[in-house]
Every structure is written in C-alpha cells, then in structure tokens.
C-alpha cells in the first residue's frame, strides 16, 4: 500500500502522554511487584502486616517500617531502592496529574480557568516530584 507523504509534525503532547499513561501503568506494576517480592524474600512474609507490605510495595522506604519487627532493614537501605522509590514517585505523580489534566481539558472548554488549571497542574507536578525526591534521598 502506498500513501501520500505528509510533513512530520513536531512535539505532540497528547500523543506522548497517551503512550506515557499506558507505559507508566505497566512500569508501576513492575516496580510495585518488585518491591513486594523483595520484601517477601527478605523476611516480610513472616514478620509484618498487610499495611507494611503495602508500604514496601509502593514506597520501599526503610523509615516507613521502623515500627515493625522487620530485622532486614539494611537490605532496603541502598541506592537501588532509592532509584525504585524515585521511579515510583515520578510515574505515580505524572500519571495522576496527567489524569487531572485530561479531566480539565475535557470539561473546562477554552476558558481562562483551563489555562490557570494547566499552570497549576504543571507547577504541582514539579513541586510534588521534587519534594518526594528530597524525602527519598534524605530519609
């Protein structure tokens, strides 16, 4: 099948975010399941409760489990898990706030409120991501 040539278009936010939403959802499953599996392997299966396991799944931060009886915290205090936490934070915040952007795009119409919401979402994305990364690196 032949097709007429068309000029390539530049950056297309909607296309990029459509792809991102699908890939980031898969990535969050991968990160979460990795954390959960590692927690179980490192002893969580006999020494902790559901809420602690959930924290390990979604935010593998040793400071979250100080109150538990886990004795393998050292295994979680290394750069690999910090990278995993930052990955989860980035995908989660971007995925969620893009969902909010989509709602705004759908229902706000071409009004000043849409522009204001877009700006708010952009700055919220930057702010939350930076604060979360600070928490991960400082804890």
**Cβ proximity of 97 and 121 under 8 Å:** yes
Stretch that binds another protein, among 2-10, 65-73, 86-94, 122-130 (CB under 8 A): 2-10
Tell me if 122 contacts another protein by CB under 8 A.
no
Q: Residue from 11, 14, 74, 111 that binds another protein (CB under 8 A)? A: 14
Residues 6+ apart with CB under 8 A from 43: 70, 71, 72
Stretch that binds another protein, among 11-19, 40-48, 56-64, 67-75 (CB under 8 A): 11-19
Size of the site for another protein (CB under 8 A): 17
The contact pattern for another protein, residues 75-114, with x = CB under 8 A and - = no contact, is ------------------------------xxx-x-----
Other Cβ atoms within 10 Å of 119 Cβ, number: 10
Query: Is there binding between residue 1 and another protein (CB under 8 A)?
Result: yes
What length does the chain have?
Answer: 139
Residue 133's contacts (CB-CB under 8 Å, 6 or more residues apart) are 86, 89
Q: What are the Cα distances from residue 72, in Å, to 88, 107, 108, 127? A: 22, 49, 50, 32
Residues that bind another protein (CB under 8 A): 1-6, 9, 12-15, 18-19, 105-107, 109
């Amino acid at each position: 099948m032949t097709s007429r040539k068309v000029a390539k278009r530049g950056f297309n936010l909607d296309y990029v975010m459509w792809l991102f939403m699908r890939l980031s959802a898969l990535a969050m499953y991968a990160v979460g399941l990795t954390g959960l599996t590692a927690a179980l392997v490192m002893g969580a299966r006999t020494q902790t409760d559901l809420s602690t396991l959930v924290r390990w799944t979604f935010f593998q931060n040793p400071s979250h489990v100080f109150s538990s009886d886990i004795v393998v915290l050292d295994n979680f205090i290394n750069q690999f898990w910090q990278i995993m936490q930052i990955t989860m934070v980035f995908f989660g915040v971007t995925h969620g706030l893009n969902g909010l952007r989509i709602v705004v795009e759908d229902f706000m119409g071409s009004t000043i409120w849409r522009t204001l919401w877009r700006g708010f979402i952009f700055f919220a994305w930057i702010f939350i991501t930076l604060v979360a990364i600070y928490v991960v690196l400082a804890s």
